Structure 1
Amino acid sequence: MQMGLSNKRALVTGSSTGLGRAIAEMLAAEGASVVVHGRDEQRTHQVVDGIRLAGGDAAGVIGDIATAEGAAEVAGAAGAVDILVNNAGYYDGLRWTQLGADDWLEIMRVNVISGVRMIEHLVPGMRRRGWGRVIQIGGGLALQPAAGHPHYSASLAARHNVTVSLARELAGTGVTANIVAPGAIRTGPTEEMARRAAAEHGWGSQWNDIEKAASTAWFPNDVGRFGRPEEVAAAVTFLASTHADYITGADLRVDGGVVRTVS
């Protein structure tokens, strides 16, 4: 299936590693010109070099989009972007009793306001050109929060809410806004957490055993494993494509069935 991404320019925030990297690589493989964003110059340019070696078109931009100045610099360096993937964010694992007001403010600044700033900078150009895609990376905790890390779940819920509101604002403009909501995905930090949990709960030392146990007791899902970054990237690539013109304000869950809804 041709995605229709040739001659489209995409900015993927937080794409020097993990999910963002997989998204940037797949968009480039499908013909988009990709702007790889990160705060670490070496990692960012490693991703750029890898995309170019694979025959794709990529450039790198360094900056902290959680600040007004950094967001403006990144947006300016990215140029006229057709596809904005707001992926950058962080998770600190803090629980209710460990949190103070400053922790809540910080995670909202990084996980929500940074994305809003990129929307403010880049979506007006999409509207003028009559075509664009805004894809926010959310998560199942936005809909089914757990007792722990409430500030993180709340920041995801804000991302989801912002996206639907933006989709309605953009009605009739040719620009869509959608959410991709991953479940537990096998990235470096997730694997590290799973291995720590395995040591505590006696799940064994082999990854296959750890993944199976974690997918049953920790992040129960119907598939019985963690997702892979490329599976999230595929969902983002589809929503970025010309095949998704009729999809806006949607929540595409890539979570193995963790979140279940009936309508």
Structure 2
Amino acid sequence: MTRIFITGSADGLGRAAAETLLGEGHEVIVHARDEKRLAAVADLVRRGALAVAGDLADMGETRLVAEQVGRLGGVDVVIHNAGIYTGSLIMPVNVVAPYLLTALIDGPRRLIYLSSGMHRGGRADVGRLTSGNYSDSKLFVTALAAAVARLRAGVVSNCVDPGWVPTKMGGPGAPDDLRLGHLTQEWLATSDDPEALTTGGYWHHQKRQTPHPAVGDHRFQDALLAALADHTGTKPAY
């Protein structure tokens, strides 16, 4: 049995992954934006899931989420699923929160970050950390996953493009298969398949893909980590 923490698991791909992983007998910690939103995962809690709450748009609350996970006894895997598509909070939710949780949650052996094919339209400019758009945010988090893979020994870190799937974010007309949208995260979280145990990959439907060239650029990775450390006042121990 693996203990897995999934951010943004009140709906969409995060909830779908939580349901599947619970059904497979794993211990799952679900996450919602606030206590009220936890009602959306009450059925998962009745099935045995643990739950934490906190707004990932707020650095203070993100730190509290990490503390809650620690008080529950830690985790083997973190799936950084939470994300938003529009508005002024894109970078805090899509980039800063995964960085902080990576820095503050001790012990996971596997880290999985949700990207998007739209990351290829992002700009590799760390000056956009506080002003970037969705594509920028997904380029940044994809580079973050690659940097963690390079720097954190003994940890398997990968990024997943789930495709354009019919969730609240993707919309009902999205053309991709919803099941395939969360299958890769589950596989990377729990499988002993040698491919699932490799690190530094960018995955789509269980197949490695080639990401934006900046993702593998160590200078960009290092500049991004430095900018995030400065922005948050927190530097991970690698």
| TM-score scaled by length of structure 1 | 0.67
Number of equivalences: 198
Q: Out of 74, 80, 87, which is 2:81 matched to?
A: 87
Q: Are 2:202 and 1:251 equivalent residues in the alignment?
A: yes
**In structure 2, what is the equivalent of residue 76 of structure 1?**
67
* Equivalent pair of 1:15/1:88 in contact (CA under 8 Å): yes
CA distance in 1 between partners of 2:102 and 2:139 (Å): 17
Q: Out of 141, 157, 176, which is 1:226 matched to?
A: 176
Residues 163-182 of structure 1: matches in 2 within 5 Å? 163-171=145-153, 173=154, 175-182=155-162
CA distance in 1 between partners of 2:43 and 2:36 (Å): 10
| TM-aligned CA deviation for residue 188 of structure 1 | 2.9
Q: Are 2:134 and 1:152 equivalent residues in the alignment?
A: yes
CA distance in 1 between partners of 2:76 and 2:146 (Å): 19
| TM-aligned CA deviation for residue 183 of structure 1 | 1.8
| TM-score scaled by length of structure 2 | 0.74
SS in 2 for 1:234: helix
Q: Deviations over 1:105-125 (max 9, x none)?
A: x32122100000110111x32
Q: Out of 30, 34, 37, which is 2:28 matched to?
A: 34
| 1:117–1:231 CA distance, 2 compared to 1 (3 A) | same
**In structure 2, what is the equivalent of residue 133 of structure 1?**
110
| TM-aligned CA deviation for residue 242 of structure 1 | 4.0
CA distance in 1 between partners of 2:134 and 2:29 (Å): 27
CA distance in 2 between partners of 1:51 and 1:73 (Å): 20
Rg comparison, structure with higher value: 1
**In structure 2, what is the equivalent of residue 205 of structure 1?**
none
Q: Deviations over 1:53-85 (max 9, x none)?
A: 4xxx30111111232221121112122111101
Q: Which runs of 4+ in 1 moved over 6 A?
A: none
CA distance in 1 between partners of 2:114 and 2:22 (Å): 18
**In structure 2, what is the equivalent of residue 120 of structure 1?**
103
Read off the aligned partner of 1:236 and give its amino acid letter: Q
Q: Deviations over 1:74-105 (max 9, x none)?
A: 1121221111011111111x7xxxxxxxx4xx
* Equivalent pair of 2:29/2:52 in contact (CA under 8 Å): yes
**In structure 2, what is the equivalent of residue 188 of structure 1?**
168
Q: Which runs of 5+ in 2 are unaligned?
A: 124-131, 212-238
Two-structure CA RMSD over aligned residues (Å): 2.7
% identical aligned pairs: 32
